Structure 1
Amino acid sequence: MAADVVDLIMQDHREVERLFDELKNHPEKRKGLVPVLTTLLSAHSRAEESAVYPAAAAEAGETDDVAHSQEEHIEADQLLAKLADTDPESADFDKVLQNLVDAVTHHVEEEETKVLPGMRANLSQDRRLELAEAFAASRKEHLGDQPDDITRDQLLQQARNADISGVSSLDKDALQKKLQQEAGE
């Protein structure tokens, strides 16, 4: 039987947790693992934002939790970019990594206790399988992306997911600043 979207998302969460453990416990692997982590998390986030969050909000009634999750994605993107820019051998790396781990762990716990159970309860198995295909295709499309590779259209999707209006006329930089500001509040 094919995995549904909830299962795929949770598989990614376990892989991110494994990468966090590797980064914490094996400093000699950091230089090679940071790009793996940034690629996986970026692809995962873009796939959730485009394929999953709109359905979770509109069809599963998870509007508030999706908006909150989207804000956490924006924060994670900022922390991920900071980690990618930090020398793995520097004294700052452990602190930057821990900030990312804390933020993503919090996000995963909330998503797995609120959004994902709501999707499992309120969406049919067939719909979850459809979303799994869309999630996997989007994740594959974005594999290799880094946090800074985000497009204006993806930023607009983030704004819709976070229920932020009045941003359609903003250019990419202004939109990104607005989203970061809103997520920080």
Structure 2
Amino acid sequence: MAADVVDLIMQDHREVERLFDELKDNPEKRVGLLPVLTTLLSAHSRAEESEVYPAAAAEADEADEVAHSQEEHVEADELLAKLAATDPESADFDKALQKVIDAVSHHVEEEETKVLPGMRANLSEERRMQLGEAFAAARKEHLGDQPDDITREQLLQQARNADVSGVSSLDKDQLQKKLRQEASE
């Protein structure tokens, strides 16, 4: 059954917010919930980057917003990797979790007030349904991925989405460093 890509993205956002609340309110569940959060956010991000952002930029006139959103994905990946490497029972976990919550909440707010309304306004319902199918398939393909599992090809897609040029000759580590540098500027 096809679903509107905007609705699917917003459903994921609500699930991530629920997981944030669980992680904050139930420290005893952190060991089990942390991989759920990191895999959902990783799969969601990779699906947006490969299927949604290119269409939003090219077809919905959202190129600037997509570039900004892509930079926020790079930042979130870095924060998620740090969170995943932090002992859920340590004092540092709460600080690392809050950084992820702040970054992702900011991203969700911007995406839901800028990119997604632009997609609703500028893409036909049929196109949003097609993108919904592609998004769901890509997200399913990446379930189980962690932030550090990103491939060079996925990094190149991030660079295209963020309008970062001159990176095709870079290896994976150089590309990741370049994207992080661009995102922090």
- TM-score, normalised via structure 1 length: 0.99
TM-aligned CA deviation for residue 2 of structure 1: 3.9
Secondary structure of 1:92's partner? helix
Query: Partners in 1 of 2:133 and 2:23 — Cα distance?
Result: 30
State the distance in 2 between where 1:175 and 1:19 align: 31
Question: What is the aligned partner in structure 2 of residue 34 from structure 1?
Answer: 34
Where in structure 1 are there 5+ consecutive unaligned residues? none
* Corresponding residue of 1:73: 73
Partner Cα distance (1:72, 1:173) in 2: 19
Two-structure CA RMSD over aligned residues (Å)? 0.7
Taking the aligned partners of 1:175 and 1:83, their CA distance within structure 2 comes to 22
Moved over 3 A (4+): none
Equivalents in 2 of 1:116, 1:19: separation in Å? 22
Listed as ranges, the matches of 1:163-174 within 5 Å are 163-174=163-174
Identity of aligned residues (%): 85
The answer for the alignment partner of 1:13 in structure 2 is 13
- 2:160 corresponds to which residue? 160
Letter matched to residue 76 of structure 2: A
Structure 2 residue ranges without an equivalent (≥5) = none
In 2, Cα distance between equivalents of 1:54 and 1:103 = 22
For 1:48 and 1:96, the matched residues in 2 are separated by: 24
Aligned length: 185
Q: Tell me which residue corresponds to 1:43.
A: 43
Which amino acid is the alignment partner of residue 14 of structure 1? Answer: R
Question: Equivalents in 2 of 1:157, 1:163: separation in Å?
Answer: 10
Tell me how far apart the structure 2 counterparts of residues 65 and 184 of structure 1 sit (CA, whole Å). 16
Q: Distance in 2 between matches of 1:140 and 1:66?
A: 22
Question: Displacement of 1:3 after TM fit?
Answer: 2.2
